[in-house]
A and B are shown apart, each in its own frame.
Chain A
Amino acid sequence: MMALVRKDLRLELRTRETIVAMVLFAIVMLAILQFGFGTRDDDLTRFVGGLMWVTLAFTAVLGVGRSYVAEREQRVLDGLLVSPVPRTVMLGAKAIAIFLYMTAVEVVVIPLVGIFFVKGPYWDAIGWIAIAAVLANTCIALSGTLFSGLALFTRARDLIFPVLFLPALVPVVIAGAGATHAVAGGPHDMSEWRGYCLFLLAYAILFSLVCVATYDAVFDD
């Protein structure tokens, strides 16, 4: 499995096209969303959860959508499918790669969100937001791997993938935004934060079971 993860990471490190594009896209999104409110309010702390997680959701669509490009365009997938690699291992490797892409983006985005949108002390909140982000990344990686696999051989796959992926991401955005809001806006509401994190954990467990149960059938050609 780690060999497949290394393959994805090495390809990315050579070209650096996906992660750099994801980070830039996320920063542009944050700026656009801020203008989209139509207000020049100094304190946008109460919108911070939504701003951050809508940005990350769309960044995930961009990144996950590109995750099978090498497999498809350079026929890597054909080689993988004829090799004795279990499909679930392929799933696990792709999910880990997507998880790492998202983490790389968040390393930049989460502190930026703090600087741009949170007035007052925020560094203690960053840690709690990062924990929620790790859980959310797991959800994004698992569902993203499954839906991008489904969209891979469809007509208009670039259009199909967001249509499949975004509705599945809505609960993640709700929980991620809720967890962020619970710790970013003044006094921390840790019970609310815990509730949302548990929700994300439940989502991750459920989708990991679905992925393990169905992934064999995705590439059963």
Chain B
Amino acid sequence: MTPSSTTDGPARIPGQRAAVIWGTIATILVVASTIGVFLIAPEDADQGIIQRIFYFHVAIAIASLVAFAVACVAGILYLRTRSERWDDVGEASIRIGLLFSVLVVITGSIWAKASWGTWWVWSDPRLVTYLIVVLVYAAYFVLRSSAEDDRKMRYSAIYAIAGFASVPLSFYSVRVAESFVHPVVFTSSGANMPGTMLWWFVMSQVAMIALFIALLEVDLLGRRSERALRRLAMRLESA
């Protein structure tokens, strides 16, 4: 007898508890970091209030890279094990990573308008290359929708790995062109910002990664629930 059948409550889907825990952690961290960024962190002497978008822009960018890295690892694990579970993790990670990437482009564009007076700067390789990353991962869903069954999962896994190869290129490209305008905050000699700013940046970063994990857990929970529902419907049909 399973534990769920001994109680009157609804059966728990695996991962429900993790989704609730991560959802709570992410909410607390996002609220705390938003308060910290807007009310506690010092204002930048040059750029004023618009510099505060940096805390979200960069944190979301790094969180999206984490999402794509997770998808890449999930792709490798899928190719090794052929387990549907890793395909779910890969697709959910890319879905969230793509959402984050679009947010990076939007927040970058807002920052560009405030700092440079224009919504888009083609001479800034990092912003442009991030747009390429968005296009690369948008194509993932086109590929996925046009392949079937086992091929869909296999091709998605391969594309997640190949797509992730384009990510380091976006970082490398910023150093290739000599005349770039994007502020490089993190250099090999450390971060170019005071301690309080760095602290709130780290806080925002942790919050965004927690948000990614929470969204991933919710997405995976949704898939598991859908499968459980489908199994139940099949059982009812055959009864």
Q: Are A153 and B125 in contact (CB under 8 A)?
A: no
When chains A and B are docked, how far (Å) is the Cα of A207 from the Cα of B165?
7
Q: Are B139 and A154 in contact (CB under 8 A)?
A: no
Please report the number of residue pairs spanning A and B whose Cβ atoms sit closer than 8 angstroms: 94
Q: Are A164 and B169 in contact (CB under 8 A)?
A: no
When chains A and B are docked, how far (Å) is the Cα of A195 from the Cα of B177?
8
| Stretch of B18-26, B152-160, B187-195 with 4 or more beta carbons under 8 angstroms from chain A | B152-160
When chains A and B are docked, how far (Å) is the Cα of A178 from the Cα of B177?
8
Q: Are A154 and B155 in contact (CB under 8 A)?
A: yes
CB contact list, A134-148 vs B, under 8 A? 143, 146-147
Interface size class of A (residues with CB under 8 A): 35 or more
Q: Mark B158-176, 1 if CB is under 8 A from A, else 0.
A: 1101100110110011011
Chain A neighbourhood of B143, CB < 8 A: 150-151, 154, 160, 163-164
When chains A and B are docked, how far (Å) is the Cα of A171 from the Cα of B157?
22
Chain B neighbourhood of A167, CB < 8 A: 132, 135-136, 138-139, 166
A210 at the interface (CB under 8 A from B): yes
B101 at the interface (CB under 8 A from A): no
Chain B neighbourhood of A155, CB < 8 A: 146-148
Chain A neighbourhood of B161, CB < 8 A: 210, 213-214
When chains A and B are docked, how far (Å) is the Cα of A153 from the Cα of B150?
12
Shortest C-beta distance, B22 to chain A (Å), equals 31
Chain B neighbourhood of A171, CB < 8 A: 129, 132, 166, 169, 173
Closest A residue to B177 using CB positions: A178
Q: Are A202 and B162 in contact (CB under 8 A)?
A: no
Chain B neighbourhood of A116, CB < 8 A: none
Closest B residue to A206 using CB positions: B165
A122 at the interface (CB under 8 A from B): no
Residue of B136, B155, B176 near A178 (CB, 8 A) is B176
B142 at the interface (CB under 8 A from A): yes
29 interchain pairs (CB within 8 A)? Answer: A146-B162, A150-B158, A153-B147, A157-B146, A160-B143, A163-B143, A164-B142, A164-B143, A164-B159, A167-B132, A167-B136, A168-B162, A171-B169, A174-B125, A175-B173, A192-B177, A195-B175, A196-B176, A199-B172, A199-B173, A199-B176, A203-B169, A206-B165, A207-B165, A213-B161, A214-B161, A217-B79, A217-B158, A220-B154
Besides A157-B146, A167-B166, 17 more A-B contacts (Cβ < 8 Å) are: A150-B143, A154-B151, A164-B139, A168-B162, A171-B173, A174-B173, A178-B176, A191-B178, A192-B177, A192-B178, A195-B177, A196-B176, A199-B172, A214-B158, A217-B157, A218-B154, A218-B158
Interface residues of B (CB under 8 A from A): 79, 125, 128-129, 132, 135-136, 138-139, 142-143, 146-148, 151, 154-155, 157-159, 161-162, 165-166, 168-169, 172-173, 175-178
